[in-house]
Amino acid sequence: MQPSIFNVRVPLRDQSDVFLMNTLTDAQIIAPPEVVSLLDSLAARTRAGVGDAFDPEEREALATLTELGFVVDSHDDDRQALDAYFDTIRHDSSQLRLTVLTTLQCNFACGYCFQGDHDDHNRHAHKMSLETAAQVVAHAARQMDAVRPERLSITFFGGEPLLNLPVVYYLAEHFHAEATARGVRLSLSIITNGLLLTPEVVDRLLPFGLTGAKVTLDGDKAAHDRKRPLRGGQGTFDKIVANVRAVAGKVAISIGGNFDADNADSYPALLDFLAEQEFGPKLAKVNFKPVMGGAAPATPPSTARPSGINGIIPLTAVAADGAPLGGTCMTVAGAGGTKAASACDTCHFVDETMGFLREETKKRGFPTVDGVHMGPCEIHRKHAQTIGPDGALYACPGFTGEATFATGHIAAAQTPLQAKAADRFDRIGAWRNCGDCSFIPVCAGGCSVASHTELGDLDTPACHRPSLESALVSLAADAAASLAQAPEDRHP
Amino acid sequence: MKITIVNTPSSKSNDKWCPWLIEIPAEIGDSQKK
């Protein structure tokens, strides 16, 4: 009998109790120090053969802890349960998830995106044809027949997906017809810069299952207009906000944002602005993430309280040799560091600023991520695919355009190279190199695109443990606060 | 040894496809599991 390796704990402020979570089962409890002592002494007492000496109170506590997954027979059991968990994730057939890149063209010139550095990008960027769109629909139909999912989740992405509206409309209508014919629920969502997200577009897509759109605002108006201008240099903040205002009552809007040392200070002002808007309470989620490369800031932003010289993680859209990757809109980066698994050595700014902005977001009452439940992502799911504008299949949008990482094509037989890539992604598992880290079930070794581009190896963990730890502290505080508000509702 | 349960074990929803890189809100309407 041992404590699970997936137990994490946070002493609660101003009280002796401790918040305990098991990241594999997701069980969360608040317990007195005696329970922690019991867990800490468990292995030694079991080894010494004095397990029978547990008193009735201890036995009762152990029964509860075992039921919740905090106590296991052995760490082999932990490992087997983890393998089973990832196996369940990989083969989950309840949803077929397709991310469709309708075009790699973009009307923005974001400074942190490699597309913005290439004036002729749009002349060469792929755009999906209606013929390819028809093949995408046929592919989705075949997949639904094979997988038999309860739900088909479609995400339109790019580039800027709404620059190819004929294909977006065609796909929405035909996905809806094919899903309906099979009794499959369909949900459509769009990741867009928001400039073309008009009520007309939303109204056209709503009957076919549009559920949400994610729009990016890179700080307050001044910061955003500096970061995300049109290709002609004009600001975009006012137009995007006007669109959000017009559609927020029709469809769930998620606000994202990409921060770096240059604009991190401006996010509290953006949050204040959003909180003042009539559509503020309608926002489904607000969540900001790091972006870009380059040197560390000489003067870190005061409000973000970054630690020391460590800088911003490099842009993952650009490979280690500086060459741009395929062309997906890469709004955020993953790991820091360039050498080894200890990527967090250069991630302090990112991790601390993520935590700071998450708390600022929560403070204003917006729904946001808790920062602990972070994975596993779609790359760990067999029935999740990204489809490029040319019909090539990928395990995730981050590998779009890298021919050696294509896993197939929607309308052609799999080549040996694609079969090799598919097999590679079938066996993916940076988390196997994470030792006994307690956060493996909610992290899975981090972003594989970051592992590939930054660390040169898909199976090298892109570690952001400090971010997970700070989020856990926040989660514990929230749990304690919610119990304080309604204590009698939570006792077993 | 009073243990107060905040959240019981269940299958995780893990509805966030891409936490670090790109947030894909396909399940944007789903409640986030805690």
C-beta atoms of A26 and B6 within 8 A: no
Q: Kindly tell me the sign of the dihedral angle through the C-alpha atoms of B9, A441, A379, A413.
A: negative
Cβ contacts of A252 on chain B, cutoff 8 Å: 25, 28-29
Is A29 a residue whose pLDDT tops 70? Answer: yes
Cβ contacts of B24 on chain A, cutoff 8 Å: 99, 155, 157, 189, 191, 214, 378, 397
Q: What angle do CA A101, A105, A110 make, to 5 degrees?
A: 110
pLDDT tens, position by position, A295-352: 333 333 333 333 222 222 222 233 334 333 445 554 433 333 333 333 444 467 878 8
Q: Among A171, A166, A160, which Cα is nearest to A210's?
A: A171
| DSSP string of A177-214, one letter each residue | HHHHHTT-EEEEEEEE-STT--HHHHHHHGGGTEEEEE
d(CA A105, CA A115): 9
Q: What angle do CA A107, A254, A161 make, to 5 degrees?
A: 30
C-beta atoms of B23 and A214 within 8 A: yes
C-beta atoms of A367 and B32 within 8 A: yes
Confidence of residue A381 (pLDDT cuts 50, 70, 90): very high
Cβ contacts of A254 on chain B, cutoff 8 Å: 23, 25, 28
Average pLDDT, chain A: 85
Q: Among A408, A336, A328, which Cα is nearest to A161's?
A: A328
Mean pLDDT value of segment A152-170: 95
The nearest alpha carbon in chain A to B14 belongs to: A375
A160 in Cβ contact with A329 (< 8 Å): yes
Q: Model's pTM, two decimal places?
A: 0.86
The nearest alpha carbon in chain B to A467 belongs to: B20
Environment class of residue A467 by beta-carbon count within 10 Å: exposed (0-12), middle (13-18) or buried (19+)?
buried
Pair of tokens at residue A454? 């930054």
Amino acid at A481: A
pLDDT tens, position by position, B1-34: 899 999 877 655 555 545 444 443 333 333 333 2
Comparing A75-89, A317-331, A402-416, A426-440, which segment has the lowest mean pLDDT? A317-331
Structural element, H or E, at residue A255: strand A252-259
Is A73 a residue whose pLDDT tops 70? Answer: yes
d(CA A235, CA A414): 44
A151-157 and A2-3 strand pairing: unpaired
More confident residue, A196 or B20: A196
pLDDT tens, position by position, A43-71: 888 877 655 678 999 999 999 999 999 99
Does the complex come out with an ipTM higher than 0.85?
no
Pair of tokens at residue A30? 């608040």
Q: How many CA atoms lie less than 13 Å away from A4 in the CB half-sphere?
A: 31
Q: What angle do CA A37, A39, A45 make, to 5 degrees?
A: 90
The nearest alpha carbon in chain A to B12 belongs to: A26
d(CA A194, CA A204): 16
Comparing A159-168, A356-365, A475-484, which segment has the lowest mean pLDDT? A475-484
Measured in residues, chain B has a length of 34
Q: Kindly tell me the sign of the dihedral angle through the C-alpha atoms of A81, A146, A132, A165.
A: negative
pLDDT tens, position by position, A88-130: 999 999 999 999 999 989 898 887 775 544 566 677 778 999 9
More confident residue, A248 or A48: A248
What's the pLDDT at A243?
98
Comparing A226-230, A234-238, A259-263, which segment has the lowest mean pLDDT? A259-263
C-beta atoms of B28 and A214 within 8 A: yes
Amino acid at A353: T
A95-101 and A7-11 strand pairing: unpaired
Cβ contacts of A55 on chain B, cutoff 8 Å: none
Of B4, B10, B29, the CB nearest to A491: B4
User: Which domains are assigned to chain A?
Assistant: 2-87+466-489 (no CATH), 93-387 (3.20.20.70)
Is A492 a residue whose pLDDT tops 50? Answer: no
d(CA B24, CA B7): 26
Crossing angle of helices A165-181 and A130-147, in 10° steps, is 30
Distance from CA of B12 to the nearest CA of A (A): 7
The strand pairing partners of A466, in sequence order, are none
**Residue B28: helix, strand or coil by DSSP?**
coil
CA dihedral (A403, A406, A412, A415) in degrees, to 10, reads: 80
Respond yes or no on whether the N-terminal peptide bond of residue A376 is cis (omega within 30° of 0).
Answer: yes
Residue keyed to tokens 């196996």? A87
Of A25, A31, A373, the CB nearest to B3: A31
Amino acid at A382: K
A154 in Cβ contact with A384 (< 8 Å): no
Of B4, B10, B21, the CB nearest to A490: B4
Of B20, B25, B32, the CB nearest to A450: B20
C-beta atoms of B28 and A284 within 8 A: yes
